[in-house]
Amino acid sequence: MSDQHFEQDETLRLPTVQFRVVLDLGPRLAAAITLPPELAHPDLFADRDEEGGALNLSIDYDSGQLHVLLDEAGPSFHFHGTIDPMESPWPADQTQILLEWALMLVQEVDALDDLLDSIYEAAEWFEQGFTLYVPETEPTQLELIEVGIIGELLTLPWLGSGRVDHEHIDGDNHPIALLWNVNNDDPDVPIARAWLDPLTGEPRTAAEPGVDWNAVAMSESEVLQWLVGIYTNHHVAPTPEAQIMRAALERMGGIS
């Protein structure tokens, strides 16, 4: 199974849309803590564990990641980018400030019961074509955030036979499988896969062995090119929710 790389035509990307979001971001105490210049611009995302209600905060850099979990037992954390998950990828003085900031931020997010739901709802409003989201709320101090939502790449519909779908699979570098069914039933036959190149961050694809491409009614190359666009839109480009989330957390954390 040899892998292939296809360049995306960025002229086919839809334009960036300016979206305004009004949110309750609380007192923004974490903003009073200044991150070290080397760690000043993380990629941020937060979500809750649906089963236990624990809050997860991801703080990602090219040089490593800090993940913070807040549950009934209190906050805990671990790192990625080192062999030992309790060993930081960064110098001790920088790590100390980052941890102080992250623990403050995760507790502030946890205290705002409606924040994550509001962000999810705002993303749904954007998908419906609206350019402003305002939540229902009791009188409180609200923040206006403007987010440039990156447009998706234009992709063709599936032009082969049957039906296809894609799903996450086990493995490194965020792999997905392209599933196919010739009879328009639920797709169940893996015909290709895609993942991120760990060195370039670009999508790579490969066909599964033994696929009858005549039955698929598209060539192997056509399918892999199509899969790159799907992977880019759904698994590389940040979703509207992730972009709104990052802007909200940056405002709470004092990141300009």
User: Mean pLDDT across the stretch 79-106?
Assistant: 96
Taking each helix axis from N to C terminus, what angle separates 240-253 and 92-111, rounded to the nearest 10 degrees?
110
**CA quadruple 176, 235, 86, 116: dihedral sign:** negative
Instruction: Decide if pLDDT at 38 tops 90.
Output: yes
DSSP per position, 198-237 = TTT--EEEEEPTT--HHHHTS-HHHHHHHHHHHHIIIIIS
Whether the per-residue pLDDT at 2 is higher than 60: the answer is no
Residue 9 confidence class, pLDDT cut points 50, 70, 90: low
With contact defined as beta carbons under 8 Å apart, do 45 and 245 qualify? yes
Mapped onto helix, strand or coil, the DSSP state of residue 128 is coil
What is the predicted pLDDT for the residue at 69?
96
189's enclosing H/E stretch is strand 189-196
Full-model pTM: 0.74
Give the per-residue pLDDT at 11.
61
State whether the Cα torsion 148-194-42-107 is positive or negative.
Answer: positive
Is the pLDDT higher at 153 or at 9?
A: 153
Q: Average pLDDT of 224-249?
A: 88
Question: Is the pLDDT score of 7 beyond 60?
Answer: no
Reply yes or no on whether the pLDDT at 103 is more than 80: yes
Q: Is the confidence at residue 134, as pLDDT, over 70?
A: yes
pLDDT of residue 3: 59
Q: Which pLDDT does position 238 carry in this prediction?
A: 80
